[in-house]
Structure formats: C-alpha cells, structure tokens
C-alpha cells in the first residue's frame, strides 16, 4: 500500500462544559502520514496546540485497539468515521487525502451530555447495565466448558451480542437517539444463555425502564444503528428484546 503524507484542515468542536455553548475551531496539521491512526493525528494536533500555548482538545480514548469503545468521535457526519465496522482508533489517515477538510464532533444525544470538547458522559449506559445486565448466580470455580450444553446457534448469537463495546455509535447515528441496539445486545447476550435465566424477566423490564428514564428516543427501525456499529451488532437483537419484553410484561401480571 502506498505511503504518503498530507496537509489537512480540521474543524473541531470545542465546548468548555455541558452548560457552555460550543463552537467549531479550525486547525491545520501538516505532513501527516497516511499510516498514522486518527488518534495519533489528534495527538500531533494537541502537541501543536500545547506548544503554541493553547489548550489541547479533550477527547476520550483508552485501549486504542478497538475493544473499549472510548474513542467516540463523530467524523464527517459518521460515528467513528468513514470506514465500516471500525472504531476511531482503528481508523487510519489513508482514509483521507491531501487537502481534505475533516469535521470532528462529539456524540450528539440528549442522553450523552458533553463533558468537554469531544468527551461525552456515557454514564447512562452504565446505569442501564446496573439495572439488569448481570447474573446473580454464584458461579464458584470455573466449570468445564462442556458441562453445560448450549445450542450452537444460541451460543453464536450470544457471542455476537456480547461483542458490543458500548461505544454509543448506535445512539449517535440514530435520528431519534435510541439506545435499543445497545440494550438489546446486552439483554440478548444473557437471555440466550442458561446462566441468565433466573433474572430473565426482571432484567429486560428493569433495563428498558432505565433506558426510558435516561431519555433515549424510540426505535423506528431505520437500521442506521446496525450500519454504523463498529462491531456489526445485528438489529435482530432488537426484535429479540421486544419478544423478551412482551413475554416478561405478560409474565409479570401473574
């Protein structure tokens, strides 16, 4: 793959805190390698800002390996940028060309208030997990993987749902700011496995109630969430959660 360098213009959202009104600042970066990751390019930009006595841009990141979900940037109108099934830290600068102007924003959702610049508070996701995303059974020592037979299809579906990293791209891309893909992945992951059976009804009722309490919008089946999810979580999980919710609602009336 050809390696090249480029000069870029960045329009980056700056916002002091959740109460302040923000604005775009324009910055230039030069001689950026096509092999740099997007976050490495941001590191270069921040070094420039610090050297010139300006405040660096706040952005979230941690593992930089595409598994933690922290690198939540809205790049040119897409969560995590132009590559599909990709986190921002896995996005490389070869996705852009010399002279490009790149617009970078935080997640835009009522349920994810801006903390500073590109950093948003995704505590709503944590509170949804606390409401029901666990199993209470005391597992004790690890048992042999074959001791509890699980249907292969269910095991695969549970594994796929469990690959959700909770980054919030689904919420950020949804015109309604819905968290249904995230919540349904977490519900499905446990509903499909026998270990999750004891809390099966209470889990879905409690997690959906917390989701609504946090102010996320409704799902209207636009499928934008699945299209922008860096892990390709399927909207089939939403249908499964709706079935779980209906069953639990009917069961709770007994």
Together in a domain, 110 and 39 = yes
pLDDT of residue 251: 78
Together in a domain, 89 and 200 = no
Residues 6+ apart with CB under 8 A from 135: 190, 195, 196, 198, 199
Chain segment 239-249, per-residue pLDDT in tens: 999 999 999 99
pLDDT of residue 145: 61
String of b and e for 35-51 (b: at least 16 CB within 10 Å)? ebbbbbbbebbbeeeee
> Quick one: pLDDT band at residue 254, thresholds 50, 70, 90?
very low
Together in a domain, 21 and 68 = yes
Instruction: Give the whole-angstrom CA distance, residue 23 versus residue 98.
Output: 25
Q: At residue 146, does pLDDT exceed 80? A: no
3-state secondary structure of 238: helix
Chain segment 191-241, per-residue pLDDT in tens: 999 888 889 999 999 999 999 999 999 999 999 999 999 999 999 999 999
DSSP H or E run through 132: helix 123-132
Q: Look at the chain and report how many structural domains it folds into.
A: 2
How do 101-105 and 5-14 pair as beta strands? parallel
Together in a domain, 79 and 194 = no
Together in a domain, 74 and 178 = no
3-state secondary structure of 154: helix
Together in a domain, 199 and 237 = yes
Together in a domain, 101 and 138 = no
Residues 6+ apart with CB under 8 A from 198: 135, 136, 137
Together in a domain, 134 and 218 = yes
Note down the domain range covering 76.
Answer: 5-115
Q: How far is CA 213 from each of CA 54, 105, 131, 241, rounded to the nearest angstrom?
A: 39, 26, 11, 18
> Quick one: pLDDT band at residue 16, thresholds 50, 70, 90?
very high
Chain segment 97-115, per-residue pLDDT in tens: 999 999 999 999 999 999 9
Question: Average model confidence (pLDDT) for the chain?
Answer: 94
Across the strands, what pairs with 105?
74
Together in a domain, 159 and 82 = no
What CATH number should be reported for the domain holding residue 77? 3.10.20.30
């Amino acid at each position: 793959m050809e390696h090249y360098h480029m000069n870029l213009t960045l329009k980056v959202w700056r916002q002091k805190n959740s109460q302040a009104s923000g604005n775009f600042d324009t910055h230039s970066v030069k001689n950026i390698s096509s092999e740099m990751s997007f976050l490495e390019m941001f590191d270069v930009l921040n070094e420039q800002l610090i050297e010139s006595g300006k405040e660096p841009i706040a952005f979230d990141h941690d593992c930089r390996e595409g598994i933690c979900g922290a690198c939540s940037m809205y790049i040119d109108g897409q969560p995590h940028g132009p590559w599909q099934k990709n986190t921002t830290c896995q996005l490389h600068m070869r996705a852009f060309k010399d002279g490009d102007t790149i617009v970078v924003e935080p997640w835009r959702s009522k349920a994810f208030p801006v903390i500073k610049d590109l950093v948003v508070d995704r505590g709503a996701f944590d509170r949804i997990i606390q409401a029901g995303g666990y199993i209470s059974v005391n597992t004790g020592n690890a048992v042999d993987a074959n001791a509890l037979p699980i249907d292969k299809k269910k095991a695969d579906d549970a594994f796929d749902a469990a690959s959700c990293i909770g980054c919030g791209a689904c919420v950020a891309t949804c015109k309604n700011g819905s968290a249904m893909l995230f919540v349904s992945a977490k519900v499905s992951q446990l509903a499909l496995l026998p270990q999750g059976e004891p809390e099966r009804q209470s889990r879905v009722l409690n997690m959906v109630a917390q989701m609504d309490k946090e102010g996320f919008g409704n799902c209207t089946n636009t499928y934008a969430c699945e299209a922008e999810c860096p892990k390709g979580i399927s909207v089939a999980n939403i249908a499964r959660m709706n079935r779980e919710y209906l069953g639990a609602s009917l069961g709770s009336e007994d």
